[in-house]
Amino acid sequence: MTTKPLLGDWEVPRIQKLRSDEQRRIAELPVPGRAGSLLQDLNGVPAAIEIHGSLFADERSDFLGSVREKFHAGDPLTFTADITEATDIQYVMIESLVVEESSRFPDQIDYFMKLRESPPPPPPPDPLGGIDDDLLGLADDFIDGVTDVLDAIDALGDIPDFSDPSALLGGALDDVTGAIGQLDEIGGLIDSLFGSE
């Protein structure tokens, strides 16, 4: 092996044998009155890779901890090895894991892993991917228009509070209040003229 087999970033130790199994799904369609059948290619099934290996006592705990952690996680992992050259295999999952121990070789365990090809994880969804580009352009134009209106209002300076109309009158209301206050005095003078006292 020129390339060390790696499952994710973990180097698979003490491999004795690697086996790749690639198949196509073929449907046979019999044609009445014709010798033979038509075959329809239904594409390839996910490839399977089998790994056989043996470990000795001092390597067992590290191996079993690492491989079982990856097996139980069930996540797609990258896989590189000489046997996958010229294939499209990028990601695999550990489909099965078999560990054997024998009294004939008490310091040795044998393991068998079956990896199954898994398609690469899909890219994260684009929340705006289904919206028409023209609609997005109109939304951008609308936001630009609203921003321009807000900038124009801000440029006007202080805008009076229309809920209190007396604020618009300023000091003119004080003059009116003073003039109305003088009406009592004027009314008394008019009454004295006409002798209504």
CATH number at residue 43: 2.40.30
Please check whether residues 80 and 148 belong to one and the same domain.
no
Ramachandran region, residue 33 (left: φ > 0; alpha: ψ -120 to 50; beta: rest): left
Question: Which one of 95, 118, 141 terminates a domain?
Answer: 118
Whether 195 shows a pLDDT value over 70: the answer reads no
Alpha helix stretches (DSSP H) within 127-171: 133-155, 166-169
- Give residue-wise pLDDT tens across range 36-56: 888 888 888 888 999 999 988
- 145 with 99, same domain? no
Closest CA to 116 of 83, 98, 92: 92
Domain assignment present for residue 23? The answer is: yes
Q: Is the pLDDT of residue 154 over 80?
A: no
Across the chain, what does the average pLDDT equal? 79
For residues 104 and 146, membership in a common domain is answered with no
- What's the mean pLDDT in 49-65? 86
CA dihedral 151, 156, 162, 164 (to 10 degrees): 130
The tally of domains found in the chain comes to 2
Do 114 and 150 sit in the same domain of this protein?
no
Please state, in angstroms and rounded to a whole number, the distance separating the CA atoms of residues 110 and 16.
10
> Judging by beta carbons within 10 Å of its beta carbon (0-12, 13-18, 19+), is residue 20 exposed, middle or buried?
middle
Q: Is 99:64 a contact under the CB 8 Å cutoff?
A: yes
Mean pLDDT of 67-85: 87
Q: Is 42 found in the same domain as 96?
A: yes
183 is in which domain, residue-wise? 133-193
Over residues 147-160, the mean pLDDT reads 69
Whether residue 158 is found in the same domain as residue 71: no
> Are the C-beta atoms of residues 91 and 77 closer than 8 Å to each other?
yes
124 occurs within a structural domain:
no
126: in domain: no
User: Side chain identity at 115, as an amino acid letter?
Assistant: L
**What's the pLDDT score for residue 132?**
65
Over its C-alpha atoms, the chain yields an Rg (Å, rounded) of: 44
Listed in order, strand segments (DSSP E) in the chain are 6-7, 10-11, 15-21, 24-30, 37-44, 48-56, 77-80, 91-102, 105-118
Is position 84 within any domain?
A: yes
